[in-house]
Amino acid sequence: MPNLNILIEKNIRRCLVKRFPYGILYGIDADKIVVIAVAHLHRKPDYWIGRA
């Protein structure tokens, strides 16, 4: 169910990790999930934007 998480940017979603301030940022490409970053949400939370 990869489409259940919050849409952050165009075609990029974020899944929050319980008990830790991390988010997994990913995109859906046809039949696979592409992980863009595992981001610490309190330190430079937007560093991954250049990767998208």
The model's pLDDT over 11-48, given as tens digits with 9 standing for 90+, comes to 899 999 888 888 899 999 888 999 988 888 887 766 66
Does the pLDDT value for residue 6 go beyond 90?
no
Contact 23, 15 (CB under 8 A): yes
Pick the more confident residue, 26 or 51: 26
The total domain count for the chain is: 1
pLDDT of amino acid 32 = 93
1 DSSP 8-state letter: -
Q: Model-level pTM?
A: 0.77
Average pLDDT over residues 2-6: 85
pLDDT at residue 13 in the model: 92
At CA 50, angle to CA 45 and CA 52, rounded to 5? 95
| Structure-block tokens of residue 31 | 């039949």
Give the range of the structural domain holding residue 32, as residue numbers without chain letter: 2-51
